[in-house]
A and B are shown apart, each in its own frame.
Chain A
Amino acid sequence: MAERVAKEVSISMAETAGLCDVDVIAAYPITPQTHVVEHLAEMVADGDLDAEFVPVESEHAAMSACCGSVAAGARTFTATSSQGLALMHEILFIASSLRLPILMVVANRALSGPINIWNDHSDVMTEKDVGWIQIFAENGQEASDLIIQGYRIGEDPRVTLPVMVHFDGFILSHVIEPIVMPTHDQVKAFLPGFKPVQRLDIDKPITMGPVGMPSIYTEAKTAQENALVSSYPVVIEVMETFGKAFGRDYRPVESYRTEGAEILFVTMGSISETAMTWVDRKRETGERVGLVRFRLWRPFPKDDFRMAIAGAKVLAVVDRHFSPGGLGGPVAQEIKTALYNDIERPRLAEFVAGLGGRDITFADLDRMYDKARTLSSGGTPPPFEIIQARGGHHGTV
């Protein structure tokens, strides 16, 4: 029987990877992902997990080793954060273009500089175009569950793509939560052994990663794009199957108290938990406000998102990264792109908050809500705003 235990989220994630019978772990420790990797190294060293732990010299090497490991047909796990993810950058494209279903957990953390080890989404958002399936967890239970789902999604022969599971650094990684740990048998029943659609095999030689000349590159990228977009129904199918097997439901886009809402907040990751409690309070005083959160970020769940926001007048989008010198946060930009050609569409109030580990409080949400309300009564949409900046965001140097 699955038991509910108090566990540090990083430890539960490492143990969950163990329950998935990973064959190879190639990872380099970096704050705040360290405990995941340390604990896996311990499990292997103690003989509790029958896997190969490759103590690589960098994240670049970690991702390279993972590519080789999956290419050889081994179920492979890695974890990183921030600068480590940035160092993996070029190999992330290789993993997805070679269609290698690696599973990587990313403890989201701000990118330097100034050097900062705390949580925001600048690391993941600068890697949104690497061609991986990307899923966000809101709490420790989800972070662990999504590893099991992630393997089943990525390794599905209809998908065969790498998967990133994002969980907020420190806010989730270092917190002790009550977590229902499944049994090994439960996970085994849900997650079959890894059967790659193709692998490096001396008896049936193939070449992975040959040069793609101008005459082939366009077709290669089109095939990859279609694979990623076509993974969407499989993601839904796996989430539904997981719900039936484990009793915890997951959807690509999650809605909270959206019925009759005029203003909807849009969030990702752990701040959604704060936002839900805040929405409860507002609902108690009769405010027509709700919450929509992206769980799936790539492929972008545009149809489910459109359904989730139907009827809302204003979306208050909370980004935890922005494009410097650009037009705002990545989530808001994506939403605008998704809705631009719709005749009926909500207006957007765009906020950037929670940078480099700054907490997003009820007071912050209140301020965002007030600004969103002026839009709903016909005000002019202001440019995106780094709402927590002391001294105000918009001004001149």
Chain B
Amino acid sequence: MERQNPFPKWTELAVGTAIVVPGSSRANRTGDWRSSRPIWNLNQCIKCGVCTLFCPEGCIAHRKDQYPEADLEYCKGCGICVRECFTGCIRMEEEKV
């Protein structure tokens, strides 16, 4: 979807500054909040899906071969997947400029 004008005049706001067009969380690419990214060691991954379930952004999907993968357009780098992973196969790696 198209991103709404980020700099509207006050007259252009919806009543109560509501968001009246759905899908704004898809338009707001939160990946640029990230200071570190999750890296999977697929040799240890058992494809259990717990990282997918716990991801608060809902941005971890499973590839065709069932291994998980984070969508870095949205991943905020919170590290909850690292904390929850049963096998400890995910680590956070600092983003480099």
Contacts and interface: CB of A to CB of B under 8 A. Distances in A.
Interface of A: 97-100, 160, 197-198, 205-210, 212, 215-216, 218-220, 222-223, 226
27 contacts: A98-B16, A99-B15, A160-B16, A197-B15, A198-B15, A198-B18, A198-B20, A206-B14, A206-B19, A207-B18, A207-B22, A207-B24, A208-B16, A209-B16, A209-B18, A210-B19, A210-B24, A212-B17, A215-B6, A216-B13, A218-B10, A219-B10, A220-B10, A220-B17, A223-B10, A223-B11, A223-B13
A227 to B, nearest CB: 8
Contacts of B13: 216, 219-220, 223
A207 B19 contact: yes
A216 B15 contact: no
Contacts of A100: 16
Contact of A219 (B9, B16, B19, B20): B9
Nearest to A200: B18
Contacts of B15: 99, 160, 197-198
Given A206-B20, A210-B19, A222 B14 contact: no
Contacts of A198: 14-16, 18, 20
Contacts of B19: 206-207, 210
Name which of B14, B18, B20, B22 has the most chain A CB atoms within 10 A of its CB: B18
A221 to B, nearest CB: 8
B10 A97 contact: no
Name which of B8, B9, B16 has the most chain A CB atoms within 10 A of its CB: B16
Nearest to A208: B18
The 7 closest A-B pairs by CB, nearest first: A99-B16, A207-B19, A219-B10, A222-B10, A98-B16, A223-B10, A220-B17
Contact of A226 (B7, B10, B16): B10
B22 A97 contact: no
Contacts of B18: 98, 198, 206-210
A215 B16 CA distance: 16
Contacts of B17: 97-98, 210, 212, 216, 220, 223
Nearest to B23: A205
Contacts of A223: 10-11, 13, 17
